[in-house]
Structure 1
Amino acid sequence: MIPPERGSILLAVIKVFQGLSTENLRVIAEACLWHLHEESEDIVRYHDSTNSVFFITQGGIRIKYHALSGNEVILCDLPTGEIFGELSAIDGHARSATAVTKSATLLASMPATAFQNLLYKHPQIAEAMFKHLTGQVRRLTKRVYEFSSLTLNNRIQAELLRLAENHMISPNEAFISPVIRSDIANLVSTTRESVSREFSDLTKDKIIKCQGRQGVHVLDVARLAKMVSEVRGSF
């Protein structure tokens, strides 16, 4: 059990709660249950009938599901500060995907009714939630467009660019660690071998430098972005 005072500090990292007063955060913390999970624990599973929303105060979550073929499909990775489970909390439908911890993770959860009341009472949180949901729609729309219009190599490049933009170490360089090629393969619906071949081509073109288990050094983010832009257009 985490005291409300401590809970309010932990909840301050949640993006949709940015700008709330300490007292408001304390009220939210009082409505939360707290759970510390180890790596690779399922938090919710596809088609579960639960409806709580979860706030990631420490650690990270992977959102995924398994196709009928048995292949894993990764939808996205959520870091500290993000939320998940909000769709079922809002519409009451079954879970649309599985959420699993990527590392030791501290979650705060809130029942659907309490979450909905929170949105009604705090317009600032409701507005942040609207922006969060529209951001999800835009991200998924972009991925659908890429799957429909880009070649496999281009999809790998686009995914690598997304990772690079979140791991910049200078205005034109990024260092992504760790890089698990099977994860990238599952994000773009291909094989690990295909990802390795594309990485080899990008290495020859001096766009990236693979450093084994340490990660991938993107040497020229601007050039990678230009390659993606040329095939994706202004979408």
Structure 2
Amino acid sequence: MTSVGAEVLSEIHGLANLPQAALENIARSVRTQTYRSCEKLAERGQDADHVCFVISGHLRVLNYSSADRMVRYAALGPGDFFGELAAIDGQPRSATVVAESDCEIAILAADQFQELITTQPEFAFALIQRLASIVHACDERIMDVSSLGPAQRVCLELLRLEEPDPLRSQSWAVYRVPTQANLASTLGTTRETVARVIGRLTSDGVVSRKAKSLYIRDRNRLEALALQA
């Protein structure tokens, strides 16, 4: 087990603007733990008494539907944290968290997290903003699943993940394409459906694959496919 300093903690979302003394106090309070890729950090329904700050590595937040299909909620990376809901309301974990790579986590006890909220208004407001963004994202996902077909959801997700191509103006790309399994679990569909849709987009010239990136060749067509009635 290693220690983590105030400077490292200042990279966590919501902690950057805290006074140095507050950061140093948190640094003294946390304990760090490392996890291997594919190792579970938390499980839905599990009792929880701490919050986890992601120092390094990448994780996925997921759950399982009544049909036992994995549903991916979110991806977490350095600077993110999880476990705040259970720390606030004392209820069991609401989702499962699995490491996608080796990672280092700083763990803060729930009562100390609650004290952080009550004594540091800047952090409390940042936490409210974070929770609001999660609610908005969930609303969008619910609307997508209830009103769009699987192929539309795949197209829309590619548009959400796109970034401007720095080498060509008016061009876009998805530089870190999730695996087909991860896309399927995020969108509430199957890996086979994702593969079929991306294959069709590729053969139609809408997108092209190069190494780990997906280049959007016809953005107008991709938008039309995502929004078609």
Partner of 1:132: 130
SS at match of 2:214: strand
Partner of 2:84: 86
Matched, 1:215 2:215: no
For each residue in 1:159-192, what CA deviation from the matched residue of structure 2 results, as whole angstroms up to 9, or x when unmatched? 2222224xx4436322433531111111112222
RMSD over equivalenced CA pairs, Å: 2.1
Identify unmatched segments of 5+ residues in structure 1. Answer: none
Counting matched residue pairs gives: 226
Give me the TM-score of the superposition, normalised by structure 2: 0.89
**Deviation, structure 1 residue 231:** 4.8
Q: 1:52 to 1:201 in 2, by over 3 A?
A: same
**Deviation, structure 1 residue 9:** 2.0
Contact 1:173–1:221 at 8 Å: present in 2 too? no
- For residues 176-191 of structure 1, what are the structure 2 equivalents within 5 Å? 176-191=175-190
Letter in 2 for 1:173: W
Partner of 1:226: 223
CA distance in 2 between counterparts of 1:18 and 1:99 reads 24
CA distance in 2 between counterparts of 1:32 and 1:90 reads 17
Identify unmatched segments of 5+ residues in structure 2. Answer: none
Partner of 1:105: 103
Considering fraction of residues, name the structure with more helix.
1
CA distance in 2 between counterparts of 1:19 and 1:227 reads 42
Letter in 2 for 1:19: N
Q: Which moved more, 1:175-184 or 1:71-80?
A: 175-184
Contact 1:59–1:79 at 8 Å: present in 2 too? yes
**Deviation, structure 1 residue 152:** 1.2
User: Percent same amino acid among aligned pairs?
Assistant: 27
Contact 2:206–2:222 at 8 Å: present in 1 too? no
Q: Which moved more, 1:176-185 or 1:193-202?
A: 176-185
- For residues 110-189 of structure 1, what are the structure 2 equivalents within 5 Å? 110-165=108-163, 168-170=164-166, 172-189=171-188
CA distance in 1 between counterparts of 2:225 and 2:161 reads 13
Q: 1:13 to 1:223 in 2, by over 3 A?
A: farther
Q: Which moved more, 1:150-159 or 1:222-231?
A: 222-231
Contact 1:207–1:223 at 8 Å: present in 2 too? no
For each residue in 1:75-101, what CA deviation from the matched residue of structure 2 results, as whole angstroms up to 9, or x when unmatched? 111111111111100111111110111
Letter in 1 for 2:50: S
Contact 1:177–1:216 at 8 Å: present in 2 too? yes
Q: 1:231 to 1:127 in 2, by over 3 A?
A: farther
SS at match of 1:201: helix
Partner of 1:71: 69
Contact 1:157–1:224 at 8 Å: present in 2 too? no
For each residue in 1:30-72, what CA deviation from the matched residue of structure 2 results, as whole angstroms up to 9, or x when unmatched? 1111111111111110100113111111111111122343321
Q: 1:2 to 1:67 in 2, by over 3 A?
A: same
